[in-house]
Structure 1
Amino acid sequence: MTIQQISVFLENRAGQLAEITTILADSQINMRALHIAETSDYGVLRMIVDKPQKAASLLLEHGFILSMTAVLAVTVPDEPGALGKILTLLARENMDVEYVYSVFGQVQGRACMIFRVADFKRLAALLEENGMPPARREELGVQEERKGED
């Protein structure tokens, strides 16, 4: 149901994002989604990759500070108002959204959004009840890895 997101702490200096993407590319790790939140002093890069454990290990080896967080991927029709319907449903249920961002491209012809909420099981059940099932890892091309696997 959930997928692993990597959040990397970034100093505001030129080249950090290029360094991260090069490390991942050199190890044949493909990015599926990314979001950067920033302040004047630092930023946080949130990303979904196809090999999350391998990516996290590599970035840690290169001295980056990161965390892994569970998020939920939700496919929505690629049409005006589709995301609004989901957000209205969550508001009606009094569910707070910590953040949301989109996945590169489409999943089976549908847009795909990454949601961070406090209660993933409740969100998944609510979406299922309303005909909007969460995306599966396989649909995003994301592996379920265990520590130590490549």
Structure 2
Amino acid sequence: MKVKQISVFLENKSGRLAQVTRTLGENGINIRALSIADTTDFGILRLIVNDPEKAYQILKNSGFTVSATDVIAVEVADKPGGLAEVLQLLDRAGMNIEYLYAFLQKSAGAALVVFRVERLDEAVKVLQESGTRILSGNEVYKL
């Protein structure tokens, strides 16, 4: 139920984001979701792609500082309060959410959200026990 996320450390300079996306595109890597957290000097680009192992190697071989992290992709009811319901499940279980971001594509009647939590395996168990759908890596990579 885990999804591999690629994180790229980027200097906050003109053209760096374009370089990453061009490098991935030229190598047949399709971006499924992304998030950027930045400061004045640098940023962290987080990506869900169709082939994370290949993307990791390509970016590393192209000189980027890159890492891979396990996250979970969760279906959230596409209605007011849908995200709050999932967040409350994790809160009641004492789970800290490090960050989250939404997918660019929706599932039938639901939004898709990527979560990074402290205790990933426990979070998966809590969400599954509540009936929350968690997508597998293969499901996400094929979206």
TM-score by length of 2: 0.94
3-state SS of 2:84 partner: helix
Pick which of 104-113 and 80-89 moved more: 104-113
Would you identify which runs of 4 or more consecutive aligned residues in structure 1 move more than 6 Å? none
User: Aligned residues, how many?
Assistant: 143
Alignment of 1:38-117 (within 5 A): 38-117=38-117
Structure 2 gaps, min length 5: none
Query: Once superposed, what is the RMSD of the aligned Cα atoms?
Result: 1.4
8 A Cα contact 2:71 2:114, kept in partner: yes
Pick which of 22-31 and 129-138 moved more: 129-138
Q: CA deviation at 1:138?
A: 3.1
Q: What are the Cα deviations for residues 95-133 of structure 1, in whole angstroms up to 9, with x where unaligned? A: 100111111111234211111112122111111111102
Amino acid aligned to 1:60: K
Amino acid aligned to 2:108: Q
Identity of paired residues, percent? 43
8 A Cα contact 1:76 1:82, kept in partner: yes
8 A Cα contact 2:29 2:51, kept in partner: yes
8 A Cα contact 1:9 1:42, kept in partner: yes
Structure 1 gaps, min length 5: 143-150
- Tell me which protein shows more strand as a share of its residues: 2
1:146 equivalent in structure 2: none
